[in-house]
Amino acid sequence: MSGYRDRLRSIYRDYIGEPDKERDIYIGFGLFFAGVTLAVVGFGLFLYSNVLESGSTLYWQIREIALVVGFIGLPSVLLSVVVLLPVGFKTRVVSAAGTVFCLAATVILVDVFPYGWTTSEGINGSVWTISVYATGLVTLVASTGAALVAHYLERATTPAESAEPVDSAESESESVSKADVDSDIEQAMEGAELSWGGVEQQPKTKRLNLDMPDTDSDLDQTAIENSEATTTRADSNDVDDAVDGLRQLQGGQSNTDRSTGTEEQVNALTEFRNEQAEDDDVETGVEGQKGLMSRLRSLFFE
């Protein structure tokens, strides 16, 4: 028995919500299943009456039972919806009034059926029965519809109200997480050296530290003033010797040919500079990646 109760409570929480009173769950589901059962039984008895001899006493008795059961079953289903849903007091009063009208119509039906159902004198029983029952049924339908609409609006507005604090909490967590990420990045970047294309920049210059012995601070100013500056111009042979010496330092072969003109000396120096630039490209490998690096730099940083 407890298993059925737990099942009913779980169904109620899934489709409706938390119940105000636990007894409303049992009363509401009881009315619903009872109403469905009575409606099915009444429909079955009405079909069974067609098999019997028309006009016999049993025929009219089965028809009367079928109508009474059907008259009670339909209001029970509508009333169960009002009981299950968390509605106000006015809605419950209106639904109770509709139920009273339906029960009154059922009493009239039992009193007039079958011989007073249709009479030629005055208002017959069918008019009374149908009028009262229709009034009660319309009242029940109105109260049930109002209960369903109110419940739908309540469920539609509740998530919207509860979504605001959730959104604010998410925004706070996002801001905190971004700050944490920024601080982590700053800590990780401290002391790190970045380079384009994975090639670290190496210094190309050397620093010379000269340790000069202590000398007398008083210099011979007269010797400096009387000294004469001399200028010398290197001839073509000296230039060729310098070029050959630089080539030997780079690992090349010594060129013993001597140039005789200024134009040839300029060409020799230009050729040497080109060879030196090519050697630098081979050693670093940066020239091969220069085009790719420039494209990436222009794509992401320009």
- Express each pLDDT in 121-155 by its tens digit: 656 788 889 999 999 999 999 988 888 887 777 77
Same domain, 248 and 154: no
What average pLDDT does the segment 228-255 reach? 59
In-domain check, residue 159:
yes
Assign residue 122 the CATH number of its domain: 1.20.120
**How far apart are alpha carbons 250 and 178 in whole angstroms?**
53
Helices (H), the chain: 2-15, 22-49, 57-84, 89-112, 125-189, 221-226, 236-249, 262-284, 286-301
Could you tell me the residue range of the domain that residue 154 belongs to? 2-167
Whether 190 is covered by a domain: the verdict is no
Over the chain, what is the mean pLDDT? 72
Asked whether residue 135 falls in the same domain as residue 39, the answer is: yes
- How many CB atoms are closer than 10 A to CB 2? 6
CA atoms within 13 A on the CB side of 283: 10
Mean per-residue pLDDT, 261-287: 65
pLDDT in tens, 14-25: 767 776 777 778
Looking at the domain assignment, is residue 23 inside a domain?
A: yes
**Is residue 210 situated within a structural domain?**
no
Residue 199 falls within a domain, yes or no? no
Residue ending a domain, among 120, 138, 167, is 167
Both tokens of 88, joined, read: 């106000």
How many domains are contained in the chain?
2
Q: What angle do CA 133, 89, 132 make, to 5 degrees?
A: 10
Instruction: Find tokens 């009028």 and name the residue.
Output: 131
Residue 213 lies in a domain: no
Distance, in Å, from the CA atom of 144 to the CA atom of 164, rounded to the nearest integer, reads 32
Residues 244 and 148 in one domain: no
Q: Which of 112-121, 140-149, 240-249 has the lowest mean pLDDT?
A: 240-249
Q: Which of 134, 167, 200 is the last residue of a domain?
A: 167
Higher pLDDT among residues 12 and 295, named by residue: 12
What is the C-alpha to C-alpha distance for residues 216 and 213, in angstroms, rounded to an integer?
A: 10
Domain boundary among the residues 149, 167, 185 is at 167
Q: Does the pLDDT at position 269 exceed 70?
A: yes
36 shares its domain with 135 = yes
Asked if residue 87 has pLDDT above 60, the reply is yes
**Residue 165 in this model has a pLDDT that exceeds 60:** no
Report residue 243 as tokens: 């070029």
